[in-house]
Amino acid sequence: MVTLYRAPPWKIAVYGRDHGVPHFHVEGRGWRCSVAISTLELIIGYASKPALTSAIGWASQHQDELLAKWRELNHER
């Protein structure tokens, strides 16, 4: 797992050996969700609306970085 961004009270991480469409995880205390990198749509899980909105706002400015890290960690070219 690589944490790419941290903002109280959540962080954005990309996992290696992950499956499915390229995605990132938004994690906070007691909750986690997955968001597709290409569409920025919630795939699974739960986050409060303010946390999810803020995380997607950051991700929208860093989609290339997120996708590159996902590909690196999941050996996709």
55, 62 in Cβ contact below 8 A? no
pTM score, whole prediction = 0.93
Asked whether the beta carbons of 52 and 33 are under 8 A apart, the reply is yes
Q: Over its length of 77 residues, how does the chain's per-residue pLDDT go in tens digits? A: 899 999 999 999 999 999 899 999 999 999 999 999 999 999 999 999 999 999 999 999 999 999 999 999 998 65
Residues 6 or more apart whose Cβ sits within 8 Å of residue 35: 23, 24, 25, 26, 41, 42, 43, 52, 55, 56, 59
What are the extents of the domains in the chain?
Answer: 2-73
At 77 the pLDDT is 52
